[in-house]
């Protein structure tokens, strides 16, 4: 029945389209109902031919029109589907013949009455179809689709995530994508209401035409119609929000667009959205954290319908009850995170942690990485059967640079042989306090265990460490093992639960304020220039007060007043107390970071600080990532209406594009190879 129609771009229109058929697309009855509203009140409608209903929607699948019987399938804006029925007895001939022109994804208005489905479901379908049908009495095609929609129909039903990206609009019509963006909208509303209604914040829009301050990630430039004069798009509202703190606002937030012209690997977008906040007259970062915890708990409890947990003092997961006066998520310091879990954003749903073997061995491969450490996966396999390690534990895709040594304990021999091998290979040497019996007792390896061994620096900047990465892989390979137990209301421990049902939050604190600059390395180990310092987060972060003296003596030992919020192994946000003292800020720019042109870059901020700017602190949350986590997706593209691809191209509108020399002239620029 399907007729092919001319593809738009091949046709040359020289005359006004037919009046009658065009205007018919603009004149149609209002919808009386949705599929859901009829289903909810079905007895009223069933087999009452006088009760006319009008539905609007799209053709969800290929209609089947035969001379004596026509079936079509309408999807309404809720994503529900209903079967439409036409027979020569019930449906006017003109309507019947119009149905012959239907294509998949045409938008339509249909009027008729509701009846029980006469035809048994003859078509297997994965999506839920109502068990009533609509008998068609009137019908209008409000806009025709093209043949691409028909060609893509199978994929649309089976795997919409695989639809070609230039057909994003078709993909967005499918229920999962509709849900993703609706959830995002709900979360944004909830966030704003929590900020404003619960905490008396003010939302303030800061400029997007900002100034080039080339620190950190690469910025997008915006030429102006003045010679050599450019705006830059902001990487965050950081500087403007600090200036707002000097402007008398004590509680600021914004759901803000930010821009980074970075390489777009690892699920990044050139423009992204940030929940940005700042508070003044703050003397403790906890005052910021309490507001953030209210947001996070509200979002997950009310929109995500999931329970939030913290790690309690005994190392168990305990349900959060939000309090307005006290932080609920536990605090984990940077060094503990790196030494116990090998990463600054550990997923605390897992109980796995590392043991240092410093007492027994010193690693020799690279003198900056002397600490040998070990992670054991207890009872990972049945030693009575043949066993092979998961491929991900050893392959190159899993580990970007260096890998740990991983062994399954098939029998007792490996309990001692692993380190003799490493000693023989010159990787490690025993320490003076080496004691084999104590080592074996400490490790307590049993057949069925898997263990991984690797090295790290005394103070790790490498992040994740090889074992940190191994721990992530172990959680993926063994989703049902080594869960951190949940303390239930009656005090008993629950060890079996679905990772996806549990939201564990944690603050990571006591980061080093500065890192040594990482330099090009020829081997698999990272290498650092310990004479050049970079801000671990940004140059506006305050030092921990107790480390103040170290700013002049040993800057690398200074810890920052920075705090990251980590949820289920994802760094969802970070913040800090800021430097509001212009003299100290100048010292950091000039003496520590050696920014010679700091006045040109940051003079505006120093000026704003120097007009009695009060103490302040704030935080930013990644809104896209938060929404992706909420819908259970691992890519932020699923919660962005029109994402760019990895080349920075918007496949729907086909941007970016070339621009005429005439336009460039107005901006006093020209292209240059």
Q: Which of residues 179-218 bind a copy of itself (CB under 8 A)?
A: 181-182, 184-186, 188-189, 192-193, 196, 202-212, 214, 218
Q: What is the distance between the alpha carbons of residues 96 and 103, in angstroms, rounded to a whole number?
A: 14
DSSP string, 137-151: EEEEEEE---HHHHH
Which two three-digit tokens encode residue 616?
């302040």
Q: What is the distance between the alpha carbons of residues 186 and 580, in angstroms, rounded to a whole number?
A: 35
Size of the site for a copy of itself (CB under 8 A): 152
| Residue in the block written with tokens 């500065």 | 514
Q: Which is nearer to a copy of itself, 386 or 672 (CB)?
A: 672
Contact 356, 338 (CB under 8 A): no
Give me the least distance between CB of 594 and a copy of itself, in Å please: 13
Contact 440, 315 (CB under 8 A): no
Q: Select the residue interacting with a copy of itself from 3, 4, 10, 19 (CB under 8 A).
A: 19
Does 52 bind a copy of itself (CB under 8 A)? Our answer is no
Does 668 bind a copy of itself (CB under 8 A)? Our answer is yes
Q: Which is nearer to a copy of itself, 221 or 440 (CB)?
A: 221
Give me the least distance between CB of 640 and a copy of itself, in Å please: 8
Give me the least distance between CB of 646 and a copy of itself, in Å please: 13
Show the binding pattern over residues 76-115: x = contacts a copy of itself (CB under 8 A), - = does not.
-x-------------------------x-xxx-x------
Distance spanning both ends of the chain, measured CA to CA: 54
Q: Select the residue interacting with a copy of itself from 221, 429, 494, 519 (CB under 8 A).
A: 221
Give me the least distance between CB of 347 and a copy of itself, in Å please: 29
Q: Select the residue interacting with a copy of itself from 60, 130, 145, 506 (CB under 8 A).
A: 145
Give me the least distance between CB of 550 and a copy of itself, in Å please: 10
Give me the least distance between CB of 138 and a copy of itself, in Å please: 14
Q: Select the residue interacting with a copy of itself from 155, 222, 335, 414 (CB under 8 A).
A: 222
CB-neighbour burial class of residue 338 (10 A; exposed 0-12, middle 13-18, buried 19+): buried
Q: What is the distance between the alpha carbons of residues 606 and 613, in angstroms, rounded to a whole number?
A: 10
Piece of the chain touching a copy of itself by CB under 8 A; list 63-71, 394-402, 506-514, 634-642: 634-642
Q: What is the distance between the alpha carbons of residues 50 and 65, in angstroms, rounded to a whole number?
A: 25
Give me the least distance between CB of 323 and a copy of itself, in Å please: 16
Piece of the chain touching a copy of itself by CB under 8 A; list 60-68, 269-277, 482-490, 504-512: 269-277
Piece of the chain touching a copy of itself by CB under 8 A; list 239-247, 370-378, 421-429, 479-487: 239-247
Piece of the chain touching a copy of itself by CB under 8 A; list 220-228, 361-369, 437-445, 486-494: 220-228
Show the binding pattern over residues 281-320: x = contacts a copy of itself (CB under 8 A), - = does not.
x-x-------------------------------------
CA angle 596, 600, 604 (to 5 degrees): 125
Which is it for the CA torsion 434, 436, 437, 443, positive or negative? positive
Range 148-172 burial, b when 16+ CB lie within 10 A, else e: ebbebbebbeeebeebebebbebbb
Does 8 bind a copy of itself (CB under 8 A)? Our answer is yes
Does 116 bind a copy of itself (CB under 8 A)? Our answer is no
Q: Which is nearer to a copy of itself, 59 or 65 (CB)?
A: 59
Q: Select the residue interacting with a copy of itself from 37, 138, 220, 434 (CB under 8 A).
A: 220
Q: Which is nearer to a copy of itself, 259 or 407 (CB)?
A: 259
Does 30 bind a copy of itself (CB under 8 A)? Our answer is yes
Give me the least distance between CB of 611 and a copy of itself, in Å please: 5
Which two three-digit tokens encode residue 538?
């940004």
CA angle 476, 461, 215 (to 5 degrees): 105
CA angle 510, 515, 519 (to 5 degrees): 155
Does 240 bind a copy of itself (CB under 8 A)? Our answer is yes
Q: Select the residue interacting with a copy of itself from 232, 296, 409, 593 (CB under 8 A).
A: 232
State how far the alpha carbon of 531 is from the alpha carbons of 519, 525, 534, 590, 619, in Å.
Answer: 11, 19, 10, 15, 29
Which two three-digit tokens encode residue 330?
């536990």
Contact 141, 27 (CB under 8 A): no
Q: Which is nearer to a copy of itself, 127 or 351 (CB)?
A: 127
Q: What is the distance between the alpha carbons of residues 460 and 15, in angstroms, rounded to a whole number?
A: 72
DSSP state letter for 548:
T
Beta strands in 200-241 (DSSP E): 202-203, 221-223, 230-232
Q: Select the residue interacting with a copy of itself from 151, 164, 169, 416 (CB under 8 A).
A: 169
Looking at the DSSP bridge assignments, the partners of residue 66 are: 69
Name, in order, each residue with C-beta under 8 angstroms of 640's C-beta and a sequence gap of 6 or more. Answer: 269, 624
Q: Which is nearer to a copy of itself, 416 or 655 (CB)?
A: 655
Which is it for the CA torsion 35, 40, 45, 51, positive or negative? negative
Does 492 bind a copy of itself (CB under 8 A)? Our answer is no
Q: Comparing C-alpha atoms, which of 622, 637, 500, 572 is closest to residue 177?
A: 637
- Name the strand (E) or helix (H) holding 644: none
Piece of the chain touching a copy of itself by CB under 8 A; list 41-49, 111-119, 247-255, 396-404: 247-255
Q: Which is nearer to a copy of itself, 56 or 340 (CB)?
A: 56
Give me the least distance between CB of 147 and a copy of itself, in Å please: 10
The torsion angle over the Cα atoms of residues 464, 467, 470 and 474, rounded to 10 degrees, is -120
Does 250 bind a copy of itself (CB under 8 A)? Our answer is yes
CA angle 657, 660, 665 (to 5 degrees): 125
Piece of the chain touching a copy of itself by CB under 8 A; list 13-21, 124-132, 368-376, 407-415: 13-21
Q: Which is nearer to a copy of itself, 68 or 228 (CB)?
A: 228
- Of 584-623, binders to a copy of itself (CB under 8 A) are 584, 586-587, 590-591, 599-600, 603-604, 606-615
- What is the number of alpha carbons within 13 Å of residue 570 lying toward its C-beta? 19
- Of 539-568, binders to a copy of itself (CB under 8 A) are 542, 545, 548-549, 551-552
Q: Comparing C-alpha atoms, which of 470, 482, 475 is closest to residue 375?
A: 470
Does 273 bind a copy of itself (CB under 8 A)? Our answer is yes
Q: Select the residue interacting with a copy of itself from 259, 369, 393, 399 (CB under 8 A).
A: 259
Q: Which is nearer to a copy of itself, 603 or 632 (CB)?
A: 603
């Amino acid at each position: 029945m399907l007729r092919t129609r001319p593809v738009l771009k091949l046709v040359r229109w020289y005359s006004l389209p037919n009046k009658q058929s065009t205007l018919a697309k603009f004149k149609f009855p209002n919808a009386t109902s949705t599929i859901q509203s009829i289903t909810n009140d079905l007895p009223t409608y069933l087999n009452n031919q006088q009760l006319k209903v009008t539905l609007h929607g799209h053709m969800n699948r290929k209609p089947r029109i035969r001379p004596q019987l026509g079936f079509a399938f309408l999807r309404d804006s809720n994503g529900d589907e209903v079967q439409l029925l036409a027979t020569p007895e019930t449906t006017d001939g003109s309507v019947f013949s119009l149905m012959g022109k239907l294509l998949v994804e045409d938008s339509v208005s249909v009027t008729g009455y509701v009846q029980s489905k006469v035809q048994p479901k003859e078509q297997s379908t994965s999506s839920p179809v109502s068990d009533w049908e609509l008998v068609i009495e009137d019908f209008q095609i409000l806009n025709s689709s093209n043949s691409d929609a028909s060609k893509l129909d199978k994929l649309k039903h089976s795997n919409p995530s695989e639809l070609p990206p230039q057909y994003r609009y078709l993909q967005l019509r499918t229920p999962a994508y509709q849900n993703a963006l609706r959830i995002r909208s709900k979360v944004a509303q909830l966030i704003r209401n929590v900020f404003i209604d619960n905490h008396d914040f003010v939302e303030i829009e800061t400029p997007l035409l900002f100034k080039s301050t080339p620190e950190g990630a690469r910025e997008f430039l915006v030429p102006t119609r003045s010679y050599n004069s450019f705006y830059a798009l902001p990487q965050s509202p950081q500087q403007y929000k600090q200036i707002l703190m000097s402007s008398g606002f004590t509680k600021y937030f914004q759901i803000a667009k930010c821009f980074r012209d970075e390489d777009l690997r690892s699920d990044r977008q050139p423009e992204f959205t940030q929940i940005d906040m700042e508070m003044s007259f703050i003397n403790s970062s906890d005052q910021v954290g309490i507001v953030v915890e209210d947001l996070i708990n509200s979002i997950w409890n009310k929109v995500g319908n999931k329970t939030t947990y913290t790690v309690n003092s005994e190392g168990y997961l305990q349900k959060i009850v939000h309090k307005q006066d006290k932080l609920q998520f536990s605090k984990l310091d940077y060094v503990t995170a790196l030494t116990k879990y090998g990463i600054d954003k550990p997923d605390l749903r897992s109980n796995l942690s590392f043991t240092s073997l410093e007492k027994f061995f010193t690693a020799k491969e690279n003198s900056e990485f002397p600490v040998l450490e070990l992670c054991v996966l207890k009872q990972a396999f049945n030693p009575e059967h043949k066993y092979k390690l998961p491929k991900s534990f050893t392959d190159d895709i899993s580990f970007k640079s260096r890998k740990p040594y991983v062994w399954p304990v098939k029998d007792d021999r490996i309990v001692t042989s692993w380190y003799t091998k490493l000693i023989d290979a010159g990787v490690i040497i025993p320490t003076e306090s080496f004691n084999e019996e104590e080592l074996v007792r400490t490790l307590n390896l049993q057949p069925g265990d898997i263990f991984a061994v690797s090295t790290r620096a005394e103070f790790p900047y490498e992040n994740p460490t090889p074992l940190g990465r191994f721990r992530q892989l172990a959680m993926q390979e063994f989703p049902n093992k080594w869960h951190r137990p949940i303390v239930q209301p009656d005090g008993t421990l629950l060890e079996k639960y679905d990772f996806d049902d549990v939201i564990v939050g944690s603050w990571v604190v006591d980061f080093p304020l500065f890192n040594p600059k990482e330099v090009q390395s020829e081997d698999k180990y990272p290498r650092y220039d310990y004479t050049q310092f970079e801000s671990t987060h940004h140059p506006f972060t305050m030092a921990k007060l107790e480390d103040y003296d170290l700013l002049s003596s040993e800057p690398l030992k200074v810890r920052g007043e920075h705090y990251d919020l980590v949820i289920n192994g994802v760094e969802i946000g970070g913040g800090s107390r800021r430097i509001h003292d212009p003299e100290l800020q100048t010292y950091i720019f000039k003496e520590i970071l050696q920014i010679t042109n700091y006045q040109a870059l940051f003079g505006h901020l120093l000026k704003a600080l120097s007009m009695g700017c009060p103490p302040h602190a704030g935080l930013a949350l990644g809104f896209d990532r938060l929404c992706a986590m909420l819908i259970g997706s691992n890519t932020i593209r699923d919660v962005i209406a029109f994402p760019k691809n990895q080349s920075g191209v918007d496949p729907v509108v086909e941007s970016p594009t070339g621009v005429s020399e005439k336009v460039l002239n107005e901006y006093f620029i020209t292209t240059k190879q």
